[in-house]
Amino acid sequence: MAKENHFGQKKRLPRMMRLLRRMRPSTLPVTFRRNRVVLLPDGSGFFSSLHAALRSAKRFILIEYYLIRDDRTASAFAAELAEAVRRGVRVLLIYDYIGCVDTPSSYFKNLAQQGIELVPFNVPSFRRGLHWFDKRDHRKMVVIDGTLAFLGGFNIGDEYAGVKEGAQRFRDVGFSVSGSVVHELVRIFSEAWLMERGEVPRLSLADSDEAARTRPQGRANVVIVSGGPHQRRSYIRSAFLVNIASASEEILIATPYFVPGPRVIRYLLRAARRGVRVRLLLPARSDVPLVRLLGRSYYSALLAKGIEICELEREILHAKVMLIDGERTVIGSANLDQRSFHRNFEINCIIDSSDFGGQIREMLLEDFRDSRCITLEDHERRGLTARVLERLINLFSWYL
């Protein structure tokens, strides 16, 4: 029996309906019902579950990743894929060309020699024009046989898998999902393959249809939000805004790159004004220090209105999660930054489940307890150099 959520719904549901009515019907997302969602809150658990699922694949494996290293974790991943091909499984892999620019070409040549079909995303050229040079495939997704998928913030590398210790270890979150929503993920992957290869991969989903009918169903309702620069407006940002605006009690956010822009800031401040407790978990250290410095330029406005900000110190935060009123989770590859809103291909899931939300809340509250909370007084005491750098970097915030 599902746990009762202690947050009231009387305020939230009418507000959500009003927001949805303002949107054009053609843009309303599809809700896939009765899916099973499993939280994988750390790297060791995520990759252990992923590898076990890869070994169970019978027909095809679809993979889309921004970054794949050439290290121990990536070697183990490649070995699993090669073994799947030897069993007769078709393996298709899209990797971002710039995201993997430091990965030796020999790594991908080895995959191709093993029979894995590869597509590098957006190899720099003048074919699409200069404006496409900065477009990246930032998704992290594996789909197995059209019945099971793995998503979240994890890339393929030791720092994500929990192999590295100390300052180089990343704090990330992933999850698996099975049910009717997985067919939508197959469609999204096929669109990306078509964009780069010029053809849609031929995949048999008949067996997965039968598996979906016979598999025990879950209780989670899931909406897929797929965003990219080919869209006239940012669906990723719109999903964040609608969910922030629907909150009636609490908003918990964890994001590694916090460059939200004025609209997201306004929505967060409005939520705080109507009595919603808003808590942000941000990184104390970052693999992109300029973005961390830019994110801190927003602190004063938020702290002054009662929004709580904590910085995770023990690891480098890389999780991308937002929890609304303890039961609706926005989780996936997208950060709260302009790059994810406008220039990256991203994929987020909105998971409506009090059970899953309860697990997310417990996980985030533990991270908040292990973090350093920032006060307005402490933040205002930062030096003149930091203030000048924040203003200077803000001039180039669109490109970070």
State the catalytic residues.
138, 140, 145, 318, 320, 325
Q: Strand, coil or helix: what is 304?
A: helix
Query: What Å distances lie between residue 94 and 58, 59, 91, 352, CA to CA?
Result: 20, 18, 10, 29
Query: What Å distances lie between residue 131 and 19, 233, 397, CA to CA?
Result: 33, 16, 17
Query: What Å distances lie between residue 91 and 114, 118, 143, 328, 385, CA to CA?
Result: 10, 9, 10, 33, 51
CB-based contact 70:152 (threshold 8 Å): no
* Strands 170-171 and 316-317, bridge-based pairing: parallel
Span between the terminal Cα atoms of the chain, in Å? 45
CB-based contact 176:147 (threshold 8 Å): no
Give the integer Cα–Cα distance in Å for 292 and 196.
33
Residue 370 neighbours by CB under 8 Å, 6+ apart? 312, 313, 314
